[in-house]
């Protein structure tokens, strides 16, 4: 592998350490046949980190039958405030018995409406940002948060769904010491409480808080006003959501390898094809060519989020699409895929191995097309769920005729969603590509 491939700056090593390899799942938590639901607040409703996780899973496992839905709701909390409107003053002041009654009712009704009908087998639950009320730590709110998360786990277990509890990411206020922000100190305590809930309910715990904070603290050393997420203090943009997806995927046990091919140019033979098949190897005095069919596609990176690749070891830990070629005459070479120049490297770099996961090529273009389709599908489902299914008509407008129109529109959108999923499943299937390695033209 090339030095460039393994090159990580100091902050990246800090971020990797903060992620905590020992906390990673032994195997990927999402499996073939899974029905995945993302439950959360406005950060989930943004449909960014969830779409990136979905796109990773679809492209890395193209033979799996997978199904994803996002039911994030802006302003929501673990007691499903936006869905059931519990009396929060009473909730926070209640004794244990009364609080249990309030939470059981609120969580049960919210899940029954928005989650259970989706028949999930795996649910990620991301609350905490609104729960802590954007103030210094309050024990009364914390009690309600822990009780509500416990109820979510119990209710989802009752329908056979496994849970991954996700902590919130830190608030990105423009200050040099975000870890001293009382709101972030509160969020850290809420996250620690969530870890206890996950332990007691035997569900998975995912800590986004520490790795995100580690990166943020490093970047604030040079610029106290930088927003690494690219959005606002609470709602990251695509770069921040890509960091979140990285932390979540690694804690869920996502693998790093897409595929690896090794060729001995001097001997004119394929040495290794790991998760790929290399055929039709041809060698001339100067050039090398072959056909490569991979078992998977590289994880697509949102073009709006490429800044994240400089903030965390995402490519190293999630997206190794590797090519190693030994035995080339000394010099500089260009790699072509289907006739398109995608990378230039020295013979030494090729002998060590290069990672082509982020190079513009027909392969990454295909992966990007999957990501685009997933965005379209998720946006269509959001419209179906929030604007049609849950539309509240005034009493004078209700009636069988309007309900018939609603049902017709729901059926139309369901068909559109099914169409997107058909296209996604077709687009995520790897294709054979023709590789050529030629001496680079002299400049």
Q: What is the pLDDT of residue 25?
A: 62
Output the DSSP codes for 357-383: TTS-SHHHHHHHHHHHHHHHHHHHHHI
404-425 b/e with 16+ CB inside 10 Å = b?
A: eeeeebeeebeebbeebbeebb
Tokens found for residue 274: 């790991």
For residue 33, is it within any domain?
yes
Span 104-123, average pLDDT: 98
pLDDT digits (tens, 9 = 90+) for 267-306: 999 999 999 999 999 999 999 999 999 999 999 999 999 9
Domain annotation covers residue 441? no
Q: Please report, for residues 70, 183, 311, 420, 423, the alpha-carbon distance to residue 415 in angstroms, rounded to integers and kept in the order given.
A: 18, 44, 40, 9, 12
Q: 54-84, pLDDT tens digit by residue?
A: 999 999 999 999 999 999 999 999 999 999 9
Q: How far apart are CA 438 and CA 265, in angstroms?
A: 12
Residue with tokens 């416990």: 150
Answering whether pTM is above 0.85, one says: yes
Strand (E) or helix (H) holding 251: helix 238-251
The domain of 29 spans 3-251
Confidence category of residue 14, pLDDT binned at 50, 70, 90: low
Whether 3 has a pLDDT exceeding 50, the answer reads no
| CA angle (307 as vertex; 303, 313 as ends), nearest 5 | 110
As given in the structure block, the two tokens for residue 54 are: 């979905």
pLDDT of residue 136: 98
Is residue 385, in this structure, part of any structural domain at all? no
Within a domain: 105:
yes
Q: Do residues 294 and 304 lie in contact, with contact meaning Cβ atoms separated by under 8 Å?
A: no
> Is the Cβ–Cβ distance between 367 and 298 less than 8 Å?
yes
Of residues 118 and 5, the one with the higher pLDDT is: 118
pLDDT of residue 12: 54
For residue 137, pLDDT beyond 80: yes
The verdict on residue 35 lying in a domain is yes
pLDDT at position 21 is 46
Please state, as a whole number, how many other Cβ atoms lie within 10 Å of the Cβ of residue 284. Answer: 8
Q: Which two tokens stand for residue 334?
A: 């260009």
Residue 412 neighbours by CB under 8 Å, 6+ apart: none
Indicate if the pLDDT at residue 17 is higher than 60.
no
Q: In what order do the strands lie in the sheet containing 276-283?
A: 276-283, 288-294, 433-439, 332-337, 340-346
Q: How confident is the model at residue 393 (pLDDT cuts 50, 70, 90)?
A: confident
Residue 402 lies in a domain: no
Residues, the chain: 443
pLDDT, tens digit (0-9, with 9 covering 90-100), for 312-356:
999 999 999 999 999 999 999 999 999 999 999 999 999 999 999
In a domain, 384, yes or no: no
Considering the domain boundaries, does residue 285 fall inside one?
A: no
Q: Say how many domains are in the chain.
A: 1
Q: Evaluate the CA torsion angle 205, 211, 212, 213 in order and state its sign.
A: positive
How much is the mean pLDDT over the chain?
Answer: 94
Predicted pLDDT at 15: 55
Q: Are 81 and 88 in contact (CB under 8 A)?
A: yes
* CATH code of the domain containing 12: 3.40.50.1110
Inter-residue contact 325 to 351 (CB < 8 Å): yes
| Cα 419 to Cα 442: distance, rounded to the nearest angstrom | 49
Q: Residue 345 CA to chain centroid, in angstroms?
A: 31
Q: What is the 3-state secondary structure (H, E, C) of 175-231?
A: CCCHHHCHHHHHHHHHHHHHHHHHHHHCCEEECCHHHHHHHHHHHHCCCCCCCCCCC
The pair of three-digit structure tokens given for residue 168, joined into one six-digit string: 């919130």
């Amino acid at each position: 592998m090339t030095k460039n491939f393994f090159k990580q700056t100091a902050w990246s090593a800090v971020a990797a350490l903060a992620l905590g390899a020992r906390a990673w799942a032994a195997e990927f938590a999402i499996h073939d046949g899974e029905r995945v639901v993302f439950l959360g607040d406005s950060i989930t409703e943004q449909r960014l980190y969830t779409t990136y996780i979905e796109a990773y899973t679809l492209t890395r496992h193209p033979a799996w039958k997978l199904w994803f839905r996002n039911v994030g709701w802006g302003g929501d909390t673990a007691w499903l405030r936006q869905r059931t409107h519990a009396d929060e003053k009473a909730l926070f002041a209640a004794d244990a018995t009364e609080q249990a009654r309030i939470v059981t009712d609120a969580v049960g009704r919210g899940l029954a409406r928005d989650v259970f009908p989706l028949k999930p087998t795996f649910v990620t639950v991301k609350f905490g940002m609104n729960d802590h009320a954007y103030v210094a730590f309050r024990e009364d709110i914390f009690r309600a948060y822990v009780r509500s998360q416990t109820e979510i786990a119990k209710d989802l277990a009752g329908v056979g769904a496994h849970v991954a509890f996700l902590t919130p990411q830190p608030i990105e206020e423009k200050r040099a010491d975000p870890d001293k922000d009382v709101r972030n100190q509160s969020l850290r305590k809420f996250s620690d409480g969530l870890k206890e809930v996950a332990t007691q309910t035997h569900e998975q715990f995912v800590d986004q808080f520490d790795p995100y904070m580690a990166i943020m603290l490093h970047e604030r050393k040079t610029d106290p006003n930088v927003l690494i997420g690219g959005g606002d203090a609470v709602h990251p943009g695509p770069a921040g959501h890509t960091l979140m997806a990285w932390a979540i995927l690694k804690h869920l046990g996502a693998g790093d390898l897409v595929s690896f091919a090794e060729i001995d140019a001097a001997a004119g033979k394929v040495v290794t094809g790991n998760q790929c098949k290399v055929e039709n190897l041809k060698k001339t005095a100067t050039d090398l060519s072959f056909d490569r069919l991979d078992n998977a596609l590289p994880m697509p990176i949102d073009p709006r989020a490429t800044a994240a690749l400089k903030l965390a070891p995402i490519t190293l830990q999630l997206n190794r699409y590797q090519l190693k070629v030994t035995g080339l005459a000394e010099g500089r070479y260009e790699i072509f895929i289907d006739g398109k120049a995608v990378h230039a490297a020295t013979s030494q770099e090729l002998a060590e191995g290069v990672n082509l996961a982020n190079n513009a090529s027909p392969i990454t273009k295909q992966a990007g097309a999957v990501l685009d389709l997933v965005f379209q599908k998720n946006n269509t489902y959001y419209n179906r769920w929030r604007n049609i299914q849950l539309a509240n008509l005034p009493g004078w407008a209700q009636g069988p005729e309007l309900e018939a129109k609603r049902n017709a529109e729901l059926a139309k959108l369901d068909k559109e969603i099914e169409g997107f999923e058909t296209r996604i499943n077709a687009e995520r299937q790897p294709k054979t590509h023709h590789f050529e390695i030629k001496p680079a033209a002299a400049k």
